[in-house]
Structure 1
Amino acid sequence: MRYLLVLFILIVPSLAMTGEPAVDAPRCHAEIPCPLGDRSYHVKEPDDWDGISPLPVLLHFHGWMRQGTLIVKHGRISGATRRRGVLLLAPNGAGKTWNFWTSDTDDVAFAAAVIEDAAKRYPIDRSRIYVSGYSYGAAMAWRYVCENGDGVAALLAISGTLRQTETCPAAPEEIRHVHGTSDTVMDFPFGPGGDTTYPVKLWRKRLECNGPPRDLGAWDITRHNSFRRTQWRDCTGGRVTLDVHERGHFIPRGWIARQLDELLDLPPSYP
Protein backbone atom coordinates (compact mmCIF):
# COMPACT_ATOMS: atom_id res chain seq x y z
CA MET A 1 0.00 0.00 0.00
CA ARG A 2 2.83 2.41 0.87
CA TYR A 3 4.46 1.55 -2.45
CA LEU A 4 1.30 2.42 -4.38
CA LEU A 5 1.00 5.75 -2.55
CA VAL A 6 4.58 6.68 -3.41
CA LEU A 7 4.04 5.67 -7.05
CA PHE A 8 0.89 7.86 -7.24
CA ILE A 9 2.78 10.86 -5.84
CA LEU A 10 5.51 10.41 -8.44
CA ILE A 11 3.15 9.95 -11.38
CA VAL A 12 0.67 12.80 -10.78
CA PRO A 13 3.25 15.64 -10.84
CA SER A 14 4.81 14.22 -13.99
CA LEU A 15 1.40 14.29 -15.72
CA ALA A 16 0.79 17.85 -14.58
CA MET A 17 4.15 18.95 -16.03
CA THR A 18 3.15 17.77 -19.49
CA GLY A 19 0.37 20.35 -19.60
CA GLU A 20 -1.96 17.78 -21.20
CA PRO A 21 -5.55 17.65 -19.91
CA ALA A 22 -6.72 14.41 -18.41
CA VAL A 23 -9.62 14.34 -20.88
CA ASP A 24 -10.32 16.14 -24.14
CA ALA A 25 -12.22 19.42 -23.83
CA PRO A 26 -15.78 19.15 -25.17
CA ARG A 27 -16.27 20.25 -28.78
CA CYS A 28 -17.99 23.59 -29.12
CA HIS A 29 -21.50 22.95 -30.37
CA ALA A 30 -25.04 23.96 -29.40
CA GLU A 31 -24.89 25.31 -25.84
CA ILE A 32 -21.10 24.89 -25.58
CA PRO A 33 -19.75 28.16 -27.08
CA CYS A 34 -16.94 28.45 -29.59
CA PRO A 35 -14.34 30.90 -28.23
CA LEU A 36 -13.25 33.70 -30.54
CA GLY A 37 -10.74 36.11 -29.00
CA ASP A 38 -12.35 37.54 -25.88
CA ARG A 39 -15.83 36.73 -27.18
CA SER A 40 -17.74 33.65 -28.36
CA TYR A 41 -20.52 32.29 -30.54
CA HIS A 42 -22.71 29.20 -30.75
CA VAL A 43 -23.17 26.81 -33.64
CA LYS A 44 -25.85 24.23 -34.45
CA GLU A 45 -25.47 21.70 -37.25
CA PRO A 46 -28.47 20.63 -39.32
CA ASP A 47 -30.08 17.25 -38.84
CA ASP A 48 -28.77 14.39 -40.98
CA TRP A 49 -25.78 16.32 -42.30
CA ASP A 50 -23.33 13.93 -43.97
CA GLY A 51 -20.27 15.75 -42.57
CA ILE A 52 -19.01 16.58 -46.07
CA SER A 53 -21.52 18.61 -48.08
CA PRO A 54 -21.09 22.41 -48.03
CA LEU A 55 -23.63 24.06 -45.74
CA PRO A 56 -25.72 27.19 -46.25
CA VAL A 57 -25.32 29.47 -43.24
CA LEU A 58 -27.79 31.49 -41.17
CA LEU A 59 -25.99 34.05 -39.00
CA HIS A 60 -28.60 35.12 -36.44
CA PHE A 61 -28.27 37.99 -33.98
CA HIS A 62 -30.14 37.49 -30.70
CA GLY A 63 -32.43 40.05 -29.11
CA TRP A 64 -31.63 42.39 -26.21
CA MET A 65 -30.37 40.68 -23.03
CA ARG A 66 -30.28 37.28 -24.72
CA GLN A 67 -27.41 35.07 -25.84
CA GLY A 68 -26.71 32.47 -28.49
CA THR A 69 -27.62 29.67 -26.08
CA LEU A 70 -31.27 30.61 -26.61
CA ILE A 71 -30.95 30.79 -30.38
CA VAL A 72 -29.57 27.27 -30.84
CA LYS A 73 -32.54 25.91 -28.86
CA HIS A 74 -35.23 28.19 -30.32
CA GLY A 75 -37.85 26.26 -32.24
CA ARG A 76 -38.60 29.12 -34.63
CA ILE A 77 -34.91 29.64 -35.44
CA SER A 78 -32.89 26.48 -34.82
CA GLY A 79 -35.97 24.41 -35.56
CA ALA A 80 -36.04 25.95 -39.03
CA THR A 81 -32.33 25.65 -39.87
CA ARG A 82 -31.71 22.12 -38.67
CA ARG A 83 -34.58 20.71 -40.77
CA ARG A 84 -33.39 22.48 -43.92
CA GLY A 85 -29.70 21.63 -44.04
CA VAL A 86 -28.58 25.07 -42.81
CA LEU A 87 -25.72 25.72 -40.38
CA LEU A 88 -26.85 28.11 -37.63
CA LEU A 89 -24.33 30.59 -36.19
CA ALA A 90 -25.39 32.58 -33.13
CA PRO A 91 -22.83 35.17 -31.96
CA ASN A 92 -22.96 36.45 -28.38
CA GLY A 93 -23.37 40.20 -28.03
CA ALA A 94 -21.08 41.99 -25.55
CA GLY A 95 -23.15 42.71 -22.45
CA LYS A 96 -25.96 40.67 -24.06
CA THR A 97 -26.71 43.45 -26.54
CA TRP A 98 -25.48 44.94 -29.83
CA ASN A 99 -23.95 48.24 -30.85
CA PHE A 100 -25.82 48.94 -34.07
CA TRP A 101 -26.51 52.65 -33.64
CA THR A 102 -23.75 53.91 -35.92
CA SER A 103 -21.22 52.48 -38.36
CA ASP A 104 -18.55 52.91 -35.67
CA THR A 105 -19.08 49.49 -34.08
CA ASP A 106 -16.84 46.50 -33.42
CA ASP A 107 -19.79 44.12 -33.75
CA VAL A 108 -19.66 44.03 -37.55
CA ALA A 109 -16.02 42.87 -37.57
CA PHE A 110 -16.78 40.38 -34.79
CA ALA A 111 -19.69 38.86 -36.71
CA ALA A 112 -17.58 38.63 -39.87
CA ALA A 113 -14.91 36.83 -37.81
CA VAL A 114 -17.58 34.40 -36.60
CA ILE A 115 -18.27 33.34 -40.18
CA GLU A 116 -14.56 32.93 -40.91
CA ASP A 117 -13.98 30.92 -37.74
CA ALA A 118 -16.93 28.67 -38.55
CA ALA A 119 -15.48 28.17 -42.04
CA LYS A 120 -12.43 26.58 -40.39
CA ARG A 121 -14.71 24.07 -38.67
CA TYR A 122 -17.29 23.42 -41.41
CA PRO A 123 -17.42 23.46 -45.22
CA ILE A 124 -19.72 26.45 -45.73
CA ASP A 125 -21.44 27.47 -48.95
CA ARG A 126 -20.30 31.06 -49.47
CA SER A 127 -22.99 31.66 -52.09
CA ARG A 128 -25.74 31.00 -49.53
CA ILE A 129 -24.92 33.07 -46.45
CA TYR A 130 -28.06 34.50 -44.86
CA VAL A 131 -28.07 37.09 -42.06
CA SER A 132 -30.95 37.28 -39.63
CA GLY A 133 -31.97 38.83 -36.32
CA TYR A 134 -34.86 39.69 -34.06
CA SER A 135 -35.59 43.02 -32.34
CA TYR A 136 -32.22 44.61 -31.41
CA GLY A 137 -30.75 41.66 -33.28
CA ALA A 138 -32.69 42.64 -36.41
CA ALA A 139 -31.26 46.16 -36.20
CA MET A 140 -27.80 44.58 -35.82
CA ALA A 141 -28.47 42.37 -38.85
CA TRP A 142 -29.36 45.52 -40.80
CA ARG A 143 -26.15 47.16 -39.58
CA TYR A 144 -24.07 44.12 -40.54
CA VAL A 145 -25.33 43.98 -44.13
CA CYS A 146 -25.24 47.77 -44.37
CA GLU A 147 -21.51 47.72 -43.65
CA ASN A 148 -20.50 44.24 -44.83
CA GLY A 149 -23.35 42.87 -46.91
CA ASP A 150 -21.59 42.38 -50.22
CA GLY A 151 -21.67 38.64 -50.79
CA VAL A 152 -24.55 38.06 -48.36
CA ALA A 153 -27.36 36.23 -50.18
CA ALA A 154 -30.22 37.62 -48.09
CA LEU A 155 -31.17 39.59 -45.01
CA LEU A 156 -34.01 38.04 -42.96
CA ALA A 157 -34.96 40.68 -40.41
CA ILE A 158 -37.70 40.51 -37.78
CA SER A 159 -39.16 43.50 -35.93
CA GLY A 160 -36.20 45.87 -35.98
CA THR A 161 -34.63 48.31 -38.44
CA LEU A 162 -32.10 51.08 -38.77
CA ARG A 163 -33.15 54.64 -39.53
CA GLN A 164 -34.39 54.81 -43.10
CA THR A 165 -32.13 57.83 -43.68
CA GLU A 166 -28.95 55.75 -43.20
CA THR A 167 -26.47 55.49 -46.07
CA CYS A 168 -25.20 51.96 -46.60
CA PRO A 169 -21.92 51.30 -48.41
CA ALA A 170 -22.85 47.63 -48.88
CA ALA A 171 -25.99 45.57 -49.39
CA PRO A 172 -27.06 41.93 -49.65
CA GLU A 173 -28.55 40.44 -52.79
CA GLU A 174 -32.00 40.24 -51.27
CA ILE A 175 -33.91 41.85 -48.40
CA ARG A 176 -36.73 40.12 -46.51
CA HIS A 177 -38.25 42.00 -43.58
CA VAL A 178 -41.26 41.26 -41.36
CA HIS A 179 -42.83 43.70 -38.87
CA GLY A 180 -46.08 44.11 -36.95
CA THR A 181 -48.09 47.32 -37.14
CA SER A 182 -48.93 47.00 -33.41
CA ASP A 183 -45.28 46.69 -32.37
CA THR A 184 -44.53 49.11 -29.53
CA VAL A 185 -41.06 47.75 -28.63
CA MET A 186 -39.30 48.41 -31.93
CA ASP A 187 -42.09 50.55 -33.33
CA PHE A 188 -43.37 49.85 -36.81
CA PRO A 189 -41.85 52.68 -38.89
CA PHE A 190 -44.92 54.09 -40.60
CA GLY A 191 -44.19 56.49 -43.41
CA PRO A 192 -45.99 59.71 -44.34
CA GLY A 193 -49.75 59.27 -44.34
CA GLY A 194 -49.45 55.92 -42.59
CA ASP A 195 -47.47 54.34 -45.44
CA THR A 196 -46.81 50.70 -44.48
CA THR A 197 -44.09 50.20 -47.09
CA TYR A 198 -41.76 52.65 -45.34
CA PRO A 199 -39.88 50.03 -43.20
CA VAL A 200 -37.76 49.06 -46.22
CA LYS A 201 -37.35 52.50 -47.80
CA LEU A 202 -33.59 52.43 -47.13
CA TRP A 203 -33.14 49.20 -49.10
CA ARG A 204 -35.46 50.22 -51.92
CA LYS A 205 -33.24 53.26 -52.43
CA ARG A 206 -29.97 51.36 -51.97
CA LEU A 207 -30.95 48.63 -54.47
CA GLU A 208 -32.43 51.19 -56.88
CA CYS A 209 -35.94 49.79 -56.88
CA ASN A 210 -37.54 52.33 -59.18
CA GLY A 211 -40.52 50.35 -60.38
CA PRO A 212 -43.87 50.15 -58.59
CA PRO A 213 -44.25 47.60 -55.79
CA ARG A 214 -46.17 44.42 -56.36
CA ASP A 215 -48.91 43.68 -53.86
CA LEU A 216 -48.73 39.90 -53.56
CA GLY A 217 -51.68 39.82 -51.21
CA ALA A 218 -52.25 37.94 -47.99
CA TRP A 219 -50.54 34.69 -47.12
CA ASP A 220 -50.35 32.63 -43.96
CA ILE A 221 -48.34 29.93 -42.21
CA THR A 222 -50.72 29.11 -39.36
CA ARG A 223 -54.19 30.38 -38.45
CA HIS A 224 -52.65 33.07 -36.23
CA ASN A 225 -49.72 33.94 -38.48
CA SER A 226 -50.91 35.75 -41.60
CA PHE A 227 -49.12 38.48 -43.52
CA ARG A 228 -49.57 41.00 -46.30
CA ARG A 229 -46.66 40.78 -48.73
CA THR A 230 -45.30 43.60 -50.85
CA GLN A 231 -42.35 43.01 -53.14
CA TRP A 232 -40.04 45.14 -55.28
CA ARG A 233 -38.47 43.16 -58.13
CA ASP A 234 -37.63 45.90 -60.61
CA CYS A 235 -34.39 46.76 -58.83
CA THR A 236 -30.90 47.24 -60.18
CA GLY A 237 -29.18 45.65 -57.18
CA GLY A 238 -31.49 42.90 -55.97
CA ARG A 239 -34.97 42.30 -54.58
CA VAL A 240 -36.89 43.59 -51.56
CA THR A 241 -39.76 41.79 -49.82
CA LEU A 242 -41.82 43.18 -46.94
CA ASP A 243 -44.25 41.09 -44.87
CA VAL A 244 -46.60 43.06 -42.59
CA HIS A 245 -48.89 41.68 -39.89
CA GLU A 246 -51.21 43.39 -37.43
CA ARG A 247 -49.72 41.99 -34.23
CA GLY A 248 -46.89 43.10 -31.94
CA HIS A 249 -43.26 42.31 -31.15
CA PHE A 250 -42.39 38.63 -31.62
CA ILE A 251 -40.86 36.11 -34.02
CA PRO A 252 -43.77 34.88 -36.16
CA ARG A 253 -44.15 31.13 -36.08
CA GLY A 254 -42.72 29.56 -39.23
CA TRP A 255 -41.59 32.83 -40.85
CA ILE A 256 -37.86 32.05 -40.90
CA ALA A 257 -38.62 28.52 -42.08
CA ARG A 258 -40.72 29.79 -44.99
CA GLN A 259 -38.04 32.27 -46.09
CA LEU A 260 -35.43 29.51 -46.11
CA ASP A 261 -37.75 27.23 -48.09
CA GLU A 262 -38.16 29.94 -50.72
CA LEU A 263 -34.48 30.90 -50.83
CA LEU A 264 -33.31 27.27 -51.02
CA ASP A 265 -36.00 26.24 -53.56
CA LEU A 266 -37.52 23.74 -51.11
CA PRO A 267 -41.19 22.78 -50.95
CA PRO A 268 -42.90 25.02 -48.38
CA SER A 269 -43.28 23.12 -45.13
CA TYR A 270 -44.11 23.70 -41.48
CA PRO A 271 -42.32 23.76 -39.17
Structure 2
Amino acid sequence: MFPQDWDGAAPLPAVVFFHGHNSSGASVFRAGSLRASFADQGYLIIAPNGAMRPGSTTRAWPARPSEGGRDDVAFTLRVMDDVAGRVPLDADRLYVSGFSAGGSMAWMMACYASERFAGFVSVAGALRRPVPDQACPSGPVRLLQIHGFADAQVPFEGRAIRDWHQGDLFESLGLMRATNKCRSNPDHIEIGEVFRCRDWGDSCEGGALKMCIHDGGHGLPKGWTDLAKDWFEKGVAPAK
Protein backbone atom coordinates (compact mmCIF):
# COMPACT_ATOMS: atom_id res chain seq x y z
CA MET A 1 0.00 0.00 0.00
CA PHE A 2 1.59 3.24 -1.20
CA PRO A 3 1.09 6.76 0.12
CA GLN A 4 -1.35 8.47 -2.22
CA ASP A 5 0.80 11.55 -2.63
CA TRP A 6 4.11 9.73 -3.21
CA ASP A 7 6.06 11.25 -6.08
CA GLY A 8 7.51 7.91 -7.18
CA ALA A 9 11.06 8.95 -6.39
CA ALA A 10 11.49 9.93 -2.73
CA PRO A 11 12.71 7.05 -0.50
CA LEU A 12 9.84 5.75 1.62
CA PRO A 13 9.76 4.66 5.23
CA ALA A 14 8.00 1.31 5.47
CA VAL A 15 6.09 -0.85 7.93
CA VAL A 16 6.02 -4.62 7.48
CA PHE A 17 2.80 -5.91 9.07
CA PHE A 18 2.25 -9.62 9.73
CA HIS A 19 -1.40 -10.69 9.67
CA GLY A 20 -3.00 -12.91 12.30
CA HIS A 21 -3.67 -16.66 12.13
CA ASN A 22 -5.95 -17.75 9.28
CA SER A 23 -5.87 -14.31 7.71
CA SER A 24 -3.83 -12.91 4.81
CA GLY A 25 -1.76 -9.99 3.66
CA ALA A 26 -4.75 -8.73 1.68
CA SER A 27 -6.69 -8.23 4.93
CA VAL A 28 -4.01 -5.85 6.17
CA PHE A 29 -4.72 -3.45 3.32
CA ARG A 30 -8.34 -3.22 4.42
CA ALA A 31 -7.36 -1.94 7.87
CA GLY A 32 -8.43 1.69 8.05
CA SER A 33 -6.25 2.51 11.05
CA LEU A 34 -3.09 1.36 9.27
CA ARG A 35 -4.00 3.45 6.26
CA ALA A 36 -4.76 6.55 8.34
CA SER A 37 -1.72 6.37 10.62
CA PHE A 38 0.84 5.11 8.12
CA ALA A 39 -0.06 5.10 4.40
CA ASP A 40 -1.72 8.52 4.64
CA GLN A 41 1.33 9.79 6.54
CA GLY A 42 3.88 8.84 3.90
CA TYR A 43 4.69 5.21 4.78
CA LEU A 44 4.75 2.18 2.51
CA ILE A 45 2.88 -0.77 4.06
CA ILE A 46 4.19 -4.25 3.24
CA ALA A 47 1.98 -7.22 4.15
CA PRO A 48 3.53 -10.65 3.51
CA ASN A 49 1.41 -13.80 3.43
CA GLY A 50 1.97 -16.53 5.98
CA ALA A 51 2.63 -19.94 4.47
CA MET A 52 -0.26 -22.34 3.94
CA ARG A 53 -0.44 -25.05 6.58
CA PRO A 54 0.07 -28.51 5.04
CA GLY A 55 -3.21 -29.99 3.91
CA SER A 56 -5.26 -26.84 4.53
CA THR A 57 -5.96 -23.36 3.22
CA THR A 58 -5.02 -21.71 6.53
CA ARG A 59 -2.19 -19.21 6.42
CA ALA A 60 -0.04 -19.24 9.54
CA TRP A 61 3.10 -17.88 11.15
CA PRO A 62 4.55 -20.70 13.29
CA ALA A 63 7.10 -18.19 14.66
CA ARG A 64 9.28 -20.88 16.21
CA PRO A 65 12.90 -21.58 15.29
CA SER A 66 12.36 -25.35 15.54
CA GLU A 67 9.35 -25.36 13.21
CA GLY A 68 9.78 -27.16 9.91
CA GLY A 69 8.66 -25.77 6.59
CA ARG A 70 9.39 -22.27 5.35
CA ASP A 71 11.98 -20.20 7.21
CA ASP A 72 9.79 -17.13 7.77
CA VAL A 73 12.63 -14.89 8.97
CA ALA A 74 14.60 -15.59 5.80
CA PHE A 75 11.41 -15.26 3.74
CA THR A 76 10.69 -11.82 5.20
CA LEU A 77 14.23 -10.65 4.46
CA ARG A 78 13.82 -11.85 0.87
CA VAL A 79 10.55 -9.91 0.68
CA MET A 80 12.39 -6.79 1.83
CA ASP A 81 15.12 -7.34 -0.76
CA ASP A 82 12.47 -7.74 -3.45
CA VAL A 83 10.66 -4.55 -2.39
CA ALA A 84 13.95 -2.64 -2.24
CA GLY A 85 14.62 -3.69 -5.85
CA ARG A 86 11.31 -2.16 -6.94
CA VAL A 87 10.78 0.83 -4.63
CA PRO A 88 13.27 3.31 -3.12
CA LEU A 89 13.22 2.71 0.64
CA ASP A 90 14.51 4.82 3.51
CA ALA A 91 16.82 2.19 5.01
CA ASP A 92 16.90 3.98 8.38
CA ARG A 93 13.11 3.92 8.75
CA LEU A 94 12.04 0.33 8.19
CA TYR A 95 9.75 -1.11 10.87
CA VAL A 96 7.94 -4.32 11.76
CA SER A 97 4.59 -4.92 13.39
CA GLY A 98 1.97 -7.66 13.58
CA PHE A 99 -1.10 -8.95 15.38
CA SER A 100 -1.55 -12.19 17.34
CA ALA A 101 0.45 -14.87 15.49
CA GLY A 102 1.76 -11.96 13.43
CA GLY A 103 2.76 -10.26 16.69
CA SER A 104 4.75 -13.37 17.56
CA MET A 105 6.35 -13.12 14.12
CA ALA A 106 7.28 -9.51 14.90
CA TRP A 107 9.04 -10.84 18.01
CA MET A 108 10.85 -13.40 15.84
CA MET A 109 12.14 -10.69 13.55
CA ALA A 110 13.19 -8.58 16.53
CA CYS A 111 15.06 -11.46 18.11
CA TYR A 112 16.70 -12.93 15.01
CA ALA A 113 16.92 -10.12 12.41
CA SER A 114 16.85 -6.78 14.22
CA GLU A 115 19.75 -5.36 12.23
CA ARG A 116 17.52 -4.75 9.21
CA PHE A 117 14.88 -2.72 11.04
CA ALA A 118 14.68 0.37 13.24
CA GLY A 119 11.80 -0.67 15.49
CA PHE A 120 9.19 -3.31 16.27
CA VAL A 121 5.63 -3.34 17.61
CA SER A 122 3.89 -6.56 18.61
CA VAL A 123 0.17 -6.53 19.30
CA ALA A 124 -1.18 -9.53 21.26
CA GLY A 125 1.78 -11.78 20.48
CA ALA A 126 4.83 -13.06 22.32
CA LEU A 127 8.11 -14.80 21.51
CA ARG A 128 7.14 -18.44 21.23
CA ARG A 129 9.11 -21.22 22.86
CA PRO A 130 11.81 -22.32 22.58
CA VAL A 131 13.44 -18.96 23.34
CA PRO A 132 17.18 -18.25 23.41
CA ASP A 133 18.91 -19.06 26.69
CA GLN A 134 20.28 -15.64 27.60
CA ALA A 135 19.72 -13.01 24.92
CA CYS A 136 18.41 -12.59 21.38
CA PRO A 137 21.26 -13.23 18.92
CA SER A 138 20.66 -10.15 16.79
CA GLY A 139 21.45 -7.64 19.52
CA PRO A 140 19.76 -4.51 20.88
CA VAL A 141 16.17 -3.90 19.74
CA ARG A 142 13.54 -1.17 19.98
CA LEU A 143 10.36 -3.07 20.80
CA LEU A 144 6.89 -2.02 21.96
CA GLN A 145 4.45 -4.66 23.21
CA ILE A 146 0.70 -3.88 23.19
CA HIS A 147 -1.54 -6.40 24.95
CA GLY A 148 -5.04 -6.72 26.34
CA PHE A 149 -5.45 -7.45 30.05
CA ALA A 150 -8.48 -9.61 29.24
CA ASP A 151 -6.86 -11.45 26.32
CA ALA A 152 -7.84 -15.12 26.67
CA GLN A 153 -6.67 -16.13 23.18
CA VAL A 154 -3.06 -15.15 23.83
CA PRO A 155 -2.95 -14.61 27.61
CA PHE A 156 0.06 -13.07 29.30
CA GLU A 157 1.17 -16.54 30.37
CA GLY A 158 0.62 -18.03 26.91
CA ARG A 159 -1.21 -21.32 26.26
CA ALA A 160 -0.05 -24.83 25.56
CA ILE A 161 -1.49 -25.90 22.18
CA ARG A 162 -0.89 -29.55 21.30
CA ASP A 163 2.89 -29.99 21.30
CA TRP A 164 3.89 -26.30 21.46
CA HIS A 165 3.43 -23.23 23.65
CA GLN A 166 2.53 -19.68 22.67
CA GLY A 167 5.20 -18.33 24.99
CA ASP A 168 5.01 -16.31 28.18
CA LEU A 169 4.89 -12.55 27.58
CA PHE A 170 6.88 -11.80 30.72
CA GLU A 171 9.49 -14.38 29.72
CA SER A 172 9.75 -12.61 26.36
CA LEU A 173 10.08 -9.19 28.00
CA GLY A 174 12.72 -10.53 30.39
CA LEU A 175 14.73 -11.91 27.49
CA MET A 176 14.49 -8.56 25.68
CA ARG A 177 15.60 -6.70 28.81
CA ALA A 178 18.63 -8.98 28.94
CA THR A 179 19.27 -8.44 25.22
CA ASN A 180 19.04 -4.65 25.59
CA LYS A 181 20.86 -4.66 28.95
CA CYS A 182 17.97 -2.85 30.63
CA ARG A 183 17.42 -2.81 34.37
CA SER A 184 14.67 -5.10 35.69
CA ASN A 185 12.18 -2.46 36.86
CA PRO A 186 10.81 0.14 34.43
CA ASP A 187 12.24 3.63 34.16
CA HIS A 188 8.82 5.18 33.63
CA ILE A 189 5.21 4.19 34.26
CA GLU A 190 2.48 5.98 32.31
CA ILE A 191 -1.22 5.65 33.12
CA GLY A 192 -3.50 7.00 30.41
CA GLU A 193 -7.17 6.72 29.57
CA VAL A 194 -6.68 3.68 27.32
CA PHE A 195 -3.14 2.40 27.84
CA ARG A 196 -1.06 1.77 30.95
CA CYS A 197 2.57 1.56 29.96
CA ARG A 198 5.85 0.42 31.53
CA ASP A 199 8.91 1.86 29.79
CA TRP A 200 12.50 0.63 30.16
CA GLY A 201 13.96 2.91 27.49
CA ASP A 202 16.29 5.06 29.59
CA SER A 203 18.24 2.23 31.18
CA CYS A 204 18.74 0.11 28.05
CA GLU A 205 22.02 0.07 26.14
CA GLY A 206 21.40 0.61 22.44
CA GLY A 207 17.79 -0.57 22.45
CA ALA A 208 14.50 0.29 24.12
CA LEU A 209 11.56 -1.65 25.51
CA LYS A 210 8.01 -0.69 26.41
CA MET A 211 4.85 -2.59 27.30
CA CYS A 212 1.39 -1.02 27.07
CA ILE A 213 -1.67 -2.79 28.48
CA HIS A 214 -5.31 -2.00 27.68
CA ASP A 215 -8.50 -3.35 29.26
CA GLY A 216 -9.74 -5.23 26.19
CA GLY A 217 -9.32 -8.77 24.97
CA HIS A 218 -7.70 -10.25 21.90
CA GLY A 219 -7.81 -7.52 19.29
CA LEU A 220 -6.30 -4.36 17.88
CA PRO A 221 -7.33 -1.66 20.38
CA LYS A 222 -8.40 1.78 19.25
CA GLY A 223 -5.39 4.07 19.11
CA TRP A 224 -2.79 1.36 18.73
CA THR A 225 -1.49 2.69 15.41
CA ASP A 226 -0.90 6.15 16.88
CA LEU A 227 1.00 4.53 19.74
CA ALA A 228 3.03 2.46 17.28
CA LYS A 229 3.81 5.39 14.99
CA ASP A 230 4.96 7.47 17.95
CA TRP A 231 7.20 4.60 19.08
CA PHE A 232 8.74 4.24 15.65
CA GLU A 233 9.36 7.92 15.11
CA LYS A 234 10.87 8.53 18.54
CA GLY A 235 13.56 6.07 17.57
CA VAL A 236 14.62 8.01 14.47
CA ALA A 237 18.13 9.41 14.82
CA PRO A 238 18.28 13.21 14.42
CA ALA A 239 19.64 14.53 11.14
CA LYS A 240 23.32 15.44 11.26
Task: Bin the TM-score by the shorter chain.
Answer: 0.7 to 0.9
Q: Which residue, out of 147, 154, 162, partners 1:186?
A: 154
Residue equivalent to 2:189: 216
The 3 A distance-change label for structure 1 pair 169 and 71 is same
Instruction: Give the TM-score, by structure 2 length.
Output: 0.81
| Residue equivalent to 2:28 | 71
Give the deviation of 1:117 after TM superposition. Answer: 0.7
Match of 2:226 in 1: 257
C-alpha deviations, 1:163-199, integer Å up to 9, x for none?
4872221146311110112101111239xxxxx9665
Query: What is the CA–CA distance in structure 1 between the aligned matches of 2:214 and 2:154, rounded to whole Å?
Result: 14
What's the CA shift string for 1:16-72, capped at 9, x where partnerless? xxxxxxxxxxxxxxxxxxxxxxxxxxxx00131121111111011000010011101
Alignment partner, residue 7 of structure 2: 50
The farther-off stretch of 131-140 and 164-173 is 164-173
- Unaligned ranges ≥5, structure 1: 1-43, 191-195, 221-225, 266-271
> Do 1:139 and 1:162's aligned partners in 2 also have CA atoms closer than 8 Å?
yes
8 Å Cα contact 2:186-2:200 kept in structure 1: yes
* Structure 1 vs Structure 2 CA RMSD: 2.2
Q: How many residues are treated as equivalent by the alignment?
A: 213
Measure the CA separation in 1 of the matches of 2:11 and 2:196.
34
Consecutive aligned runs of 4 or more in structure 1 exceeding 6 Å deviation: none
Choose the corresponding residue for 2:143, options 175, 178, 181: 175
Specify the alignment match of 1:204 in structure 2.
177
In 2, Cα distance between equivalents of 1:122 and 1:203: 32
1:94 is the counterpart of 2:51: yes
Give the structure 1 partner of residue 216 of structure 2: 247
Output the CA distance in 2 between the equivalents of 1:211 and 1:98. Answer: 30
Conserved? CA contact 2:153–2:218, under 8 Å = yes
d(CA) in 2 for partners of 1:197, 1:145: 16
Q: Secondary structure at the match of 1:83?
A: helix
Contact 2:144 2:231 in 1 (8 A): no
Residue of structure 2 equivalent to 1:28: none
Matched, 1:147 2:112: yes
Can you give the 5+ residue segments of structure 2 that lack an aligned partner in the other structure? 53-58, 159-168, 235-240
Residues 164 and 199 of structure 1 are in contact (CA less than 8 Å); yes or no, is this contact kept in structure 2? no
Task: Please say if residues 110 and 143 of structure 2, whose CA atoms lie closer than 8 Å, have aligned partners that are also in contact.
Answer: no
Does the residue aligned with 2:190 lie in a helix, a strand or coil?
strand
Aligned residues of 2:63 and 2:128 also touching (Cα < 8 A): no
Larger relative contact order (C-alpha < 8 A, sep ≥ 6)? 2
How does the TM-score come out when normalised to structure 1?
A: 0.72
Task: Tell whether the 8 Å contact from 2:16 to 2:46 is kept in structure 1 after alignment.
Answer: yes
Q: Distance in 2 between matches of 1:110 and 1:228?
A: 34
Partner residue in 1 for 2:197: 229
Partners of 2:47 and 2:140 in 1: CA distance: 19
Cα distance in 1 for partners of 2:233, 2:129 equals: 29
CA positional deviation for 1:143: 1.0
Q: Distance in 2 between matches of 1:207 and 1:143?
A: 15
- For residues 238 and 204 of structure 1, do their structure 2 counterparts lie closer, same or farther at Cα, with a shift above 3 Å needed? same
CA deviations on 1:71-94 (whole Å, 9 max, x unpaired) are 011112233211221110000111
User: Given that residues 177 and 184 in structure 2 are in contact (C-alpha distance below 8 angstroms), is that contact kept between their aligned partners in structure 1?
Assistant: no
